[in-house]
A = this chain, B = another copy of it.
């Protein structure tokens, strides 16, 4: 008998039929003698519907009240899921975040979990109940309802698994695991049986949409065994995310290729090459709450330097006006330019650590196809490049082939 936390996203509870299908899966696990905690998101589309309603009354909604409103999405789903289980003859009980007591700070709309009371859940699990817990939500120490931000249901699942010392946290999504890259782009993409947390983190942060990065960090921190599975298939082991590299395993050099079309590149040309320039450029950007991803600085020959960084496409114009209004004159830059026709491609793998020449193989592969590399950024287990967005698919396909990812 194992204690399993199963987390189901919005598409897995999108309508009554899907919820019944979820309930039948839970029933099968229960029949095997396992104790089950189910974490569910709001029905897909519901959170956006509620946000739109809130914005009709207040264009930038007060965050406490917004959390009050949007937390109802998951509350409806837990009730419906419990009903589907009870209808199958299974003892089940729903819990809001406040009822479990998932304690968070009071940073409404993006709260962080500080503690989970596992007393009530344990008692109900021991009494034979399936506990159905609302994802995405918690309660602060004054009893205010909080939400954890987008993707917070994954975090709820992992945090519950950690608090309950669960044997496994299963994340059910609309894909059947983590792939070497997006199969819609590369039909030869292959499902990975397992992947390390570090790789998953890089894949998640590099644009692979399977799991939220916060939940992966959380799982790594608390050593929760995480498995990604499809909620639309009866069979399949999904992808196990391990917190230790299995030494005796033949580790492939590269595990996967992530990509991202959401970034734009901003270049500050002809900046005097003096200390403090990076801060003078990025300080005002950070103050305006614009997230910066890649940053590159190259020294030129004439005592000036070119400074380039990427931001989300939606924030390019905001960043450009900040630079032109507050920075350009001040630092004496020659030109400020933006380009949102770019894409980022990253190869990820713990095997990189012990293999040299991966970067050069990547660059050669792209060069052979005539794909110009605009920016490069590396970490110990990742190499990311920025290319013209029209080359994105080509770049992913040739890299997938070059690193032989289609082969098990």
Contact = CB atoms under 8 A, between A and B. Distances in A.
Interface of A: 16, 19-20, 50, 53-54, 56-58, 61-62, 64-66, 68-69, 71-72, 75-76, 78-80, 82-84, 86-87, 93-94, 96, 98-99, 143-145
A19 B54 CA distance: 11
A56 B86 CA distance: 13
Main DSSP-derived SS at the A contact region: helix
Contact of A68 (B65, B82, B143, B145): B82
B84 A16 contact: no
Contact of A94 (B16, B56, B57, B65): B65
Nearest to A143: B99
Contacts of A84: 57-58
Contact of A69 (B62, B80, B93): B80
Q: Rank and list the top 3 A-B pairs by shortest CB-CB distance, nearest first.
A: A69-B79, A72-B72, A68-B79
Contact of A19 (B57, B86, B145): B57
A404 to B, nearest CB: 47
Nearest to A120: B143
A62 B76 CA distance: 14
Nearest to A66: B79
B87 A58 contact: yes
B83 A57 contact: yes
B99 A83 contact: no
Given A53-B16, A53-B80, A93 B64 contact: yes
A332 to B, nearest CB: 44
Contact of A57 (B20, B56, B62, B72): B20
B99 A56 contact: no
Given A65-B83, A65-B86, A69-B80, 8 more contacts: A58-B84, A64-B94, A68-B75, A68-B79, A69-B79, A71-B75, A98-B98, A99-B144
Contacts of A76: 50, 53, 69, 72
